[in-house]
């Protein structure tokens, strides 16, 4: 039988949100839609390091499986 998880209490939710923000702050996968350059960064507002384009897709690395 599968156990139904209980909802997080307020403190648990705050900790979960903090950990998610920390993961996002240090591990953002970036892909330039203009030139195809890819890199991992800590910032979500910088242009492409190769061509300077601002058309950059950003995905939090925690969303990728560890493999």
Name which residue leads in pLDDT, 63 or 40: 40
Residue 8 lies in a domain: no
User: Among candidates 55, 67, 2, which has minimal Cα distance to 30?
Assistant: 55
CB atoms within 10 A of CB 44: 12
Within-domain flag for 10:
no
Q: Could you report the per-residue pLDDT of 20-34, keeping only the tens digit for each? A: 777 777 788 999 999
2 inside domain = no
Residue 1 lies in a domain: no
Q: What is the pLDDT of residue 67?
A: 53
Is residue 56 domain-resident?
yes
Per-residue DSSP letters for the chain? Answer: -PPPPPPP-HHHHHHHHHHHHHHHHH-EEEEETTT--EEEES-SSPPPTTT--S-EEEEEGGGS---
pLDDT classification of 47: cutoffs 50, 70, 90:
very high
Looking at the 3D structure of the chain, how many domains does it have?
1
Which pLDDT belongs to residue 61? 78
Domain extent at residue 53: 24-67
Kindly state whether residue 33 falls inside one of the protein's structural domains. yes
**Candidate ranges 2-6, 15-19, 35-39; pick with highest mean pLDDT:** 35-39
């Amino acid at each position: 039988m599968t156990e139904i998880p209980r909802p997080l209490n307020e403190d648990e939710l705050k900790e979960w949100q903090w950990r998610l923000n920390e993961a996002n702050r240090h591990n953002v996968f970036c892909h330039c839609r203009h030139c195809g350059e890819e890199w991992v960064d800590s910032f979500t507002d910088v242009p492409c390091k190769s061509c300077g384009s601002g058309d950059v897709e950003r995905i939090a690395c925690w969303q990728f499986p560890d493999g």
